[in-house]
A and B are shown apart, each in its own frame.
Chain A
Amino acid sequence: MTAATATAPLLLEARALSFYRQDEPVFGPLDFRLHAGEVALVEGDNGSGKTTLLRVLAGLLHLDEGELRWRGSSWQRDSYSGDILFLGHHLGLKADLSTRENLAVAIGLYGQRAGGNIARVLAEIGLSGYEDEPVRRLSAGQKKRAALTRLLLLPATLWLLDEPYANLDRTGIELVNHLLEQHTARGGAALVTSHGAVSFLSGEPKRIRMHG
């Protein structure tokens, strides 16, 4: 996925991005570009601002300094919201609802990708047999998988994944890599935070180093 990026359209561009919390710098200044078909790995120690960066990009946090451009135009919250899928530490699953019901709500809010089918996607993600189980009864890894199912069902170009590998077993990690591969092959892009020890299946991902 490195050679193709020269011609692929530029999706996200950050110039001198900085973030302060009560005048204390959290990260920055950061410069990076993300093209269609690229996966960027956000690396850094604990507390270096990886999650904060993702929350800024998702539009949850207000950007203090620097410039963000999405598909060449200025970053406006409403113009890109359906293009971005954010998966944070809190998975956004209702514990009293089943996996299927949780996904139905997500589809209701975000729309459904063409050809998406809840039952098939749940089987693909390794949750068949747990479709109607309340999320509270699932294990931490299964909850993570249930949240990842959103990636397969909802239409979005840019995935912002905060620690997608946490709590997952070996097959789960492979699954995430597989999802990322499928996504980039379709022309999507992703920012993934991780504190290392992660192998991507194909090629070297772009790396964004947070200042420690």
Chain B
Amino acid sequence: MLAPTAALGQKGAASARDGSMEKFTRLSGVAAPMPLVNIDTDMIIPKQFLKTIKRTGLGANLFDEMRFDRDGNEIEDFVLNRPAYREARILVAGDNFGCGSSREHAPWALLDFGIRCVISTSFADIFYNNCFKNGILPIKLPKEQVDALMEDAERGSNARMTVDLEEQTITGSDGETFGFEIDPFRKHCLLNGLDDIGLTVETAAMSIDAYEAKAAERRPWL
């Protein structure tokens, strides 16, 4: 089980890139509400922080321009600056979360801050994909359910939710439970912290060799 403290203690563990990523099994923690629609990856991690050649350390600048003023002071009413949400592990967000740039720095920043799960009605495709590569679980739910969880999240530090990947459920602070869908392959990889490259080499190397040989005959100009 991933207790919030454990998640905190392992900040950025998946970033070490030792050939595996941190498993995601069960997550229990505070959920922060971000009802704004179309939150883009430029908001999640502004460009000036993309000049790093590392995956770690980006949590300090997560949502930088919404979270801090120009002098680096916290903007008081930004959700993650409010005392109740400073250790949020889950985000409940408006439609089309993660749109825009393909920067994987966005999930790296979320992970480094301690966010392991984002719940929304919809996600931009590239961001959605990038989450799974980093042990973050993005959950798509119908609007009524996101609205209910958003309301739950508004309750501050009392808004503890539990996400169980094996069971594919989210349980709100009042015990109400919602089921969610997830691609079985992605679920398997998250539950076991599997590295995609290792998997591909293991399962598909011969097929790739064969494909290349066939393609060289069919499309020799490539």
- A and B: real partners? no
Chain A positions within 8 Å of B, measured between CB atoms, are none
